[in-house]
Structure 1
Amino acid sequence: MFDWNDLRAFLAVARGGSTLAAAKVLGINQTTVARRIEALEANLGLKLFERTQSGSRLTEAGQTLVADADGVERAAEGFAHQAQALQRGMAGSLRVTVNEILGNAFLTPALMEFRRLYPEIRIDTLVTDAFLDLDKGEADVAIRGTAAPLADSDLISRKLSDVEWAVYCSRDYAIRHGVPTRPEDLGRHVLIGGEGSLAMMPVMQWIQAQAPDAEVHTRSSSLTNLMVASRAGLGIAPLPVMAADQEPELCRCMEIAGMASAVYVMVRADMKDVRRVRVFIDFLAPHFAALRRTYEVRGEAVQAANLRYVAEARAALAEEA
């Protein structure tokens, strides 16, 4: 088996065109470079260079092998880089559980920048509305929207952002039925109900309490599907402002005061000081704040345009009538 240093000498001569140029790059003397080339040729049983007065020129065999030698060099460098990352606790994967709305609106848009900063860390995104059990190892990190972390939980939590809620309907629904602007108006509209754990959310219970006798034509157990159902015109529903305001087909009817929740990142206590966990959490906080500001500005513009559109369409319908 040949020596790795002999292979480095081979690549340096191939790239520099001479043993002298290779010696300068490698920081060794020219004689040592020449001996390494001779040793490599002897081990391989192949002549790799033609020696000329102007330098060293690759033989046909040398030209064939230089690409493979490049690959060996890259693999060795990658091996060393990965070993260094492991020493720093920065290499490996993180399984992050998040619901679809938070994943699409906040987490995924930030991952390219995180990848640029920390290429050794792989983020595996587990998208689900269910609360995976971190204590059982179902995920390493959780990003969750909740009123407050559970008091009896041993998880370490860090608040990333506030989440306001409002009642929404589609533009088509608003044109046909108008929009509720006060809680007492809700009983005259069709609601989209919650199912399962979604039905237990405070905002879903609030809207049900405001309009217990309202028509409900469909129910959903998914917050993402609730938004899709609203956009399809199936009725009105409470939705997170940060996401729903971005939808051109959704009209914000009224804000829901006093029902704000928050987004937390959560991790087990024994994981909080793991370097890749620490840098991931420290990275998320400013990115969530920046994206929230962006969404607020964009959402106000979208909703202002929606209100104008609906007002003009309803006026046109009134004239036709």
Structure 2
Amino acid sequence: MFDWNDLKAFLAVARGGSTLAASKTLKINQTTVARRIEALEASVGLKLFERGQTGSRLTEAGEDLLAEAERMEAAAEAFGSRASAHQRGLAGTLKVTSTEILANLAITPALGEFRQLFPDVKIDLIVSDVALDLASGEADVAIRSGIALTVSDLVARKLADFDFALYCSRDYAARRGVLVNFEDLKNHDLIGGDGSHLPLPGMRWMFERAGGVEPAHTSNSMTNLNIAVKAGLGIAPVGCLLADLDPDLIQCSEPIPELRAGSWVVTRPELKDAPRVRAFIDFIVPHFAALRRSLEAKGAAIRAEKAAAVVSFPKTA
């Protein structure tokens, strides 16, 4: 089997055209380069160069083997790069969990850029509206909304606060009218969520004010709940940032202070200083902020266009 250093000498001579040029590239003397070429030729049993006064020219066999040598060189460089990344902690798998809405809106669209910056970090995205248990290792990093982190030993970094209001579709408003006041909720179709699977304080708040009315439709998915509102199945609390972007959704109330929810990127204390974890968090926080600014600007324009369809809002006080 040939020596890897002999193969490097072969590549350097092929590219430089002479053992002298190769010696300068490899920073070894010319005699050593010539000796390595001879050792490689003896190892493979082929003459790889025609030598002359003007330098060294690849033989037919040398030309044929050059591409294979270059592939081996690329593989060796990739091996070294990945080993270096592991030494820095910027390699390996990172399990990230998020709700479907945040995964589709903010995380997945950003992963292409993250991979360009950190190609040796593999993101396993676990999409679930159910909060996974980070402490037991179900995920390394979570992006969560509306949770009480003050009683948790998790390490969290704030992303943003989000407003919620009651919304219905244009079709529903045309058929049933918009909300007059919160007492009027009992006269409307209300969309509920499966509280055993989802933390839905907004749903509880709405149904408490509706006086125990049964939901006209339920779902255990936040994404599906938003689609149910858009489909005209009734009224439900929806995040204003997304609802304002949809021309088909009509805002039925002012943002409800009790439903304002924070979003956080969360990890376990022992992982907070792991390089791949810090790299992801330091990347996603400013990305999230920029995305929010962009969506708010777009939503303001669409909200102005929808204003004519909205009558006076019921007061939250």
Matches of 1:199 and 1:19, distance apart in 2:
70
- Alpha carbons of structure 1 residues 174 and 264: separation in structure 2 relative to 1, 3 Å: same
Q: Answer whether contact 2:50 2:57 (CA < 8 A) is retained.
A: yes
The root-mean-square deviation of aligned C-alpha atoms, in Å, is 1.9
Name the residue aligned to 2:201: 202
Q: Could you list the runs of 5+ residues in structure 1 that have no partner in the other structure?
A: 312-321
Specify the code of the residue in structure 1 equivalent to 2:35: R
Moved more, 65-74 or 220-229: 65-74
Aligned to 2:302: 302
Q: Structure 1 residues 56, 175: CA separation in 2 closer, same or farther (over 3 Å shift)?
A: farther
Given the alignment of the two structures, is residue 243 of structure 1 paired with residue 242 of structure 2, yes or no?
yes
Aligned-pair identity in percent equals 57
Structure 1 counterpart SS, 2:47 = coil
Q: Corresponding residue for 2:171?
A: 172
Quickly say closer, same or farther: Cα 1:24–1:206, change in 2 above 3 A: same
- For the pair 1:217 / 2:253, whether they are aligned, the reply is no
- Distance of 1:190 and 1:115 partners within structure 2: 45
Q: Which residue is equivalent to 1:54?
A: 54
| 1:268-309 deviation line (CA, Å, top 9, x unaligned) | 11111211112222222222211111111111222223344x
Q: Deviations over 1:79-109 (max 9, x none)?
A: 1111111111111110001010111122122
Tell me the secondary structure at the aligned position of residue 43 of structure 2.
helix
Preserved CA contact (<8 Å) 2:114 2:283: yes
Matching residue of 1:120: 120
Question: 1:225-279: per-residue Cα shift (whole Å, max 9, x none)?
Answer: 1011111111111111222222233222222223211111111111112111122
TM-score by length of 1: 0.89
- Which residue of structure 2 lines up, in the alignment, with residue 41 of structure 1? 41
Map 1:272-287 to 2 at 5 A. 272-287=272-287
- Indicate if the aligned counterparts of 2:129 and 2:198 stay in contact, CA closer than 8 A: no
Q: Are the counterparts in 2 of residues 169 and 231 from structure 1 also a CA contact under 8 Å?
A: yes
CA distance in 1, matches of 2:37, 2:288: 55
CA distance in 1, matches of 2:51, 2:74: 27
Structure 2 residue ranges without an equivalent (≥5): 311-317
Equivalents in 2 of 1:18, 1:181: separation in Å?
88
Q: Provide the aligned length of Structure 1 versus Structure 2.
A: 309
Equivalent-residue separation in structure 1 for 2:300 and 2:184 (angstroms)? 23
* 2:186 alignment partner in structure 1: 187
> Mean alpha-carbon deviation: is it higher for 269-278 or for 244-253?
244-253
Alignment-derived partner of residue 10 in structure 1: 10
Q: What is the distance in 2 between the residues matched to 1:306 and 1:198?
A: 33
- In the other structure, the counterpart of 2:146 is 146
* AA matched with 1:225: N
Other structure's SS at 2:149 match: coil
